[in-house]
Amino acid sequence: MTDRFLSVAAAGLHEIEIRRSRFLCALAPVGQETAAREAIAARRRAEPTARHHCHAFVLGPDGRTQRSSDDGEPAGTAGVPMLEVLRRRGVTDTVAVVSRHFGGVLLGAGGLVRAYGQSVSEALDTVGLVEYRRLRLFDIEVDYTRAGRLENELRASSYSVQEARFEASAHFEVGVLPGEEQRFAAWLAEATGGSSEAVELGEDWVRG
């Protein structure tokens, strides 16, 4: 099981022009195939004059679900190269849709492969990527006499502070990499003089 994966930082759009054909690549973060299909349909509505709306998407932390479509372009010249860019860059939970407005000049199979791959690659560079980590989440409760110092030490440590709540006592939700739980417990005992324990909340994917 993987502990990390990359996805696009946000939805975005990037355009390139090759021999008068316009290639508009839309990227979006998606967690399910239904969401990917909705994003593809939305691009068809947004660009009704485009001749082709080719797509590729990868889903799941391990990239297990992979789909692509040439949408009328010669077989293997659009969807597959788009998918290959996502796979090569290690990007998942992402859908890419390239809408092509034909400029009147035939690009040939090789030209199409390069154009669709370039469109997705440049869009990824423009939109940017973010890392997600699989973390074990813990709630730490501490009295206010220790809260300020503990928060400073947590934020200076390798552990990920997800939330700070200040109620009757202070609470810090902290993410710990799987396998680091015992080391974290020892660190916390030393940091608080043994006055606080961490209550495990479960596991989740956390944006880095």
118-137, pLDDT tens digit by residue?
999 999 999 999 999 999 99
Q: Which CATH architecture has domain 132-207?
A: 2-Layer Sandwich (3.30)
49-96 pLDDT tens trace: 999 999 999 999 999 999 999 999 999 999 999 999 999 999 999 999
pLDDT digits (tens, 9 = 90+) for 171-189: 999 999 998 999 999 999 9
- 52-59 and 94-101 strand pairing: antiparallel
pTM, rounded to two decimals: 0.82
Q: What is the pLDDT of residues 148-164, one digit of tens each?
A: 899 999 999 989 999 99
Q: Band of the pLDDT at 103, cuts 50, 70, 90?
A: confident
**High-pLDDT (> 90) share of the chain, %:** 87
Q: Where are the domains of the chain?
A: 4-127, 132-207
Phi/psi at 187 (nearest 5 deg)? -60, -45
- How far from 84 is each of 13, 30, 116, 140, 156, CA to CA, in Å? 19, 18, 10, 43, 39
CB 52 within 8 A of CB 100: yes
Residue 96's pLDDT is what?
98
d(CA 155, CA 136): 17
Fold of the domain built from segment(s) 4-127: Ribosomal Protein S5; domain 2 (3.30.230)
